[in-house]
Amino acid sequence: MAHPVTTKSIPAPDRTQVGLALGRLARRPESGSFLGMLAVLLFFGVFGGGNFLSAAGTASWLNIASEIGIIALPIGLLMIAGELDISVGAVIPAASLTAAIVSGHYGLPDWLGIAAALGLGLAVGLINGLFVTKTTIPSLIITIGTMFGTMGLTLGLTVKIAGSTGVSLVPDPFIKAILGDYLGGMFQVTILWWVVFVIGLFWLLHVSPIGNWIYALGGDKESARNVGIPTKRLTIGLFMLSGFSAAFVGVSEVMVYQSAQVLAGQSFIFNSIMCVVIGGVLLTGGFGSIVGIVFGTLTFSIVNQGIYFTSLDPNVGSVIIGALLLIAVLTNDTFRQLALNYSSKSGGQS
Amino acid sequence: MNDKPAILELRNVNKSFGPIDVLHDISLRVRVGEVLCLLGDNGAGKSTLIKTLAGVHKPTSGQILMDDEPVTFTGPSDAQGRGIATVHQFGGTFPLMSIGRSFFVGVEPTKGWGPFKIYDRKRANEIAVKAVRDFGITRIDDGDRLVGGLSGGERQSLAIARAVYFGARVLILDEPTAALGVKQASHVLRIVNEAKKRGLAVIFITHQVMHAMAVGDHFAVLIRGAIAADFRRGEKSREEITDLMAGGETMADLEAQVEGYLETHEGHPPSLQVLEGPTAH
């Protein structure tokens, strides 16, 4: 990942300069999650047999990672800004079904179904954002509310319109190729979309000035407003981004599996939050990075899938994920303390 | 001293919230290159006064003048735009942001054009570090350091340097030394002096008389929303000021009163009403 600090070349690698560069590296939010990712990759590389790192094995966890990853990124931005979004778990199936009903059940053009699904995601995000900015209710509660609302409407309307809780859709070849295909027969094209999201949001958070506003919003909302940051517009925008991303995943799922189910996507709620926290984002806001979220997502997916390649009982996989989360938070706290105590005078000695 | 022009002036300002009168008939002047110390105990109306000066509250009656022209602040950003900057106790900064980023928060320097404007980290860091170092805080030399890693005094200094850099003419410092140790507090007092030397008008709110006396040119003691005393440097001793802040009666009087009450009431301490009774408005 290119970043202004880490890519700085070290002209003469004498000890202090290497130490300084390592010191700086260790203080970045993603350092802990990078080490975590290396650890689980090594673990499953060794204990998962040759299959885990084969193309098919890699595809199995990359496919999972790409779908969670697209949602984890905006969830991470929201968390950096001090908010949570639970409603993504309901937006994914709602978007899938919207696309399936519009284009499959009614037979309208695919692009119309996709637009309706993405529009639905944006609308849920807008509602979340408006409630969060107009009331003092915590976003956790508001988005739990909108999650249940979206879920209920999805179920009710789907049964009413289609007469069942599942709707199928056969996309035309072009749409299938760009949204629902497998590269080389195993890698979901969603992985490429994930890369697009990563680049776009990396730009937003780390390169454009808006990134600074997001950090400020999560650091101290009151001060952020006082310095003239449009905090309400920014909050609403971030919620719409997460609604959009969830809807995007919903759309790509319906294109991959060619059918949509009412009860899908619940697992994304906690999984995306876990990816973000493992990736070094501070749950209470103000700290984190896109690269960290990517590492966190990969770590989570490797453990999630890697367990099937080992001789371990897959049922204990959750134990490992739970332990991983706790270890990750502890490590990230340590790295954050390092970052806080960092000064270039004492930094060279590390 | 008195001939320096006043930047900000309050004339007979009253402020009430519904039926509750918080500020009574406040008249104050802050001059170029002068430190006005606002002293007062908790609940004396200091924060309402600051918020009125910073444009958060509008006075119920009375006038605010800037450069001898009457002004009405439409909001905090209007007051900021006119050069009134408030620095709060903890610096009002973002502990997990870098020095450069928090210095320019909301007004980020950018390079590039149109939608491809990017945050100019290098320039932000350089300017921020230089601005703080110019105020004598030489320990800060890296704009990528996180604000949370700075000491309390350095954070205050950063916030003051930021306000000055963005063109503040009136600096309102809300209890800047309250949470600081002796050494850190002296850092901040040095910065206050430096700001004064640069021709800023400083309003220094505190209840630490020692700190006020170290930098103040002009003192106003606020009691129950009214100015109880208004005097210049050297006109009153530390004990007199402390006594004024304690509610217009000397500490010795208060002690005697408490003693007497304890004797006549079998050792029970007096209630607040009993103590405040004779001076209640």
Answer yes or no: pTM beyond 0.90: no
pLDDT at B48 over 80: yes
pLDDT tier for residue A135 given thresholds of 50, 70 and 90: very high
The pLDDT, as a whole number, for residue A155 is: 92
pLDDT tier for residue B274 given thresholds of 50, 70 and 90: low
Q: Which of B76, B96, B149 sits opposite A286 (nearest CB)?
A: B96
pLDDT in tens, A148-191: 999 999 999 999 998 888 898 888 889 988 998 888 888 999 99
- Reading the block at residue B198, the tokens are 């640069």
- Reading the block at residue B192, the tokens are 């206050």
Q: Is A227 in contact with B97 (Cβ distance < 8 A)?
A: no
ipTM over 0.90: no
Average pLDDT for residues B18-45, to the nearest whole number?
87
Q: Name which of A24, A220, A283 to mutate to probe chain B: the one with the most chain B Cβ atoms within 10 A of its Cβ.
A: A220
pLDDT in tens, B65-81: 998 889 988 877 788 88
If DSSP codes are grouped into helix, strand and coil, which group holds residue B17? strand
- From chain A, the residues in CB contact with B110 under 8 A are 209
The more confident residue out of A86 and A342 is A86
pLDDT tier for residue A1 given thresholds of 50, 70 and 90: very low
Cα separation, A291 vs A280, in Å, equals 10
SS3 assignment for chain A = CCCCCCCCCCCCCCHHHHHHHHHHHHCCCCHHHHHHHHHHHHHHHHHCCCCCCCHHHHHHHHHHHHHHHHHHHHHHHHHHCCCCCCCHHHHHHHHHHHHHHHHHHCCCCHHHHHHHHHHHHHHHHHHHHHHHHHCCCCHHHHHHHHHHHHHHHHHHHHHHHHCCCEEECCCCHHHHHHHCCEECCCEECHHHHHHHHHHHHHHHHHHCHHHHHHHHHHHCHHHHHHCCCCHHHHHHHHHHHHHHHHHHHHHHHHHHHCEEECCCCHHHHHHHHHHHHHCCCCCCCCCCCHHHHHHHHHHHHHHHHHHHHCCCCHHHHHHHHHHHHHHHHHHHHHHHHHHHHCCHHHHCCC
Residue A111's CB: how many other CB atoms inside 10 A? 13
pLDDT tier for residue A211 given thresholds of 50, 70 and 90: very high
The pLDDT, as a whole number, for residue A26 is: 65
pLDDT in tens, B193-252: 888 888 899 999 888 888 888 888 989 888 888 887 888 888 888 777 777 777 655 556
Average pLDDT for residues B250-271, to the nearest whole number?
67
Percent of chain A with pLDDT over 90: 51
Q: Is A216 in contact with B106 (Cβ distance < 8 A)?
A: yes
* Angle at alpha carbon of residue B131, lines to B126 and B134, rounded to 5°: 120
pLDDT in tens, B114-134: 777 888 888 999 999 998 888
- From chain B, the residues in CB contact with A5 under 8 A are 144
Q: Is A223 in contact with B94 (Cβ distance < 8 A)?
A: yes
Average pLDDT for residues A120-138, to the nearest whole number?
96
| A contact residues 212-271, partner B, Cβ 8 Å cutoff | 212-213, 215-216, 219-220, 223-224, 226-229
pLDDT at B60 over 50: yes
pLDDT tier for residue A122 given thresholds of 50, 70 and 90: very high
- From chain A, the residues in CB contact with B154 under 8 A are none
Q: Is A343 in contact with B104 (Cβ distance < 8 A)?
A: no
Q: Which of B77, B94, B149 sits opposite A340 (nearest CB)?
A: B149
Q: Is B94 in contact with A339 (Cβ distance < 8 A)?
A: no
Nearest CA in chain A to B88: A223
pLDDT tier for residue A216 given thresholds of 50, 70 and 90: very high
Nearest chain B Cα distance for residue A71, angstroms: 24
- From chain B, the residues in CB contact with A227 under 8 A are 105-107
Q: What is the mean pLDDT of chain B?
A: 82
Q: Is B149 in contact with A216 (Cβ distance < 8 A)?
A: no
Nearest chain B Cα distance for residue A163, angstroms: 47
- Interface membership of A34 toward B (CB under 8 Å): no
The chain B residues in contact with chain A (CB within 8 A) are 76-77, 92-97, 101-102, 104-108, 110, 117-119, 121, 139, 141-142, 144-146, 148-149
Cα separation, A142 vs A129, in Å, equals 9
Mutual angle of helices B121-134 and B152-165, in 10-degree steps: 110
The more confident residue out of B157 and A83 is A83
The pLDDT, as a whole number, for residue A13 is: 43
Nearest CA in chain B to A337: B149
pLDDT at A231 over 80: yes
Q: Which of A229, A339, A345 sits opposite B146 (nearest CB)?
A: A339
The more confident residue out of A193 and B187 is A193
Q: Is B224 left (phi over 0), alpha (psi -120 to 50) or beta?
A: left
| A contact residues 57-116, partner B, Cβ 8 Å cutoff | none
The pLDDT, as a whole number, for residue A346 is: 41
pLDDT at A345 over 50: no
Q: Is A343 in contact with B149 (Cβ distance < 8 A)?
A: yes
The pLDDT, as a whole number, for residue A342 is: 65
pLDDT tier for residue A6 given thresholds of 50, 70 and 90: very low
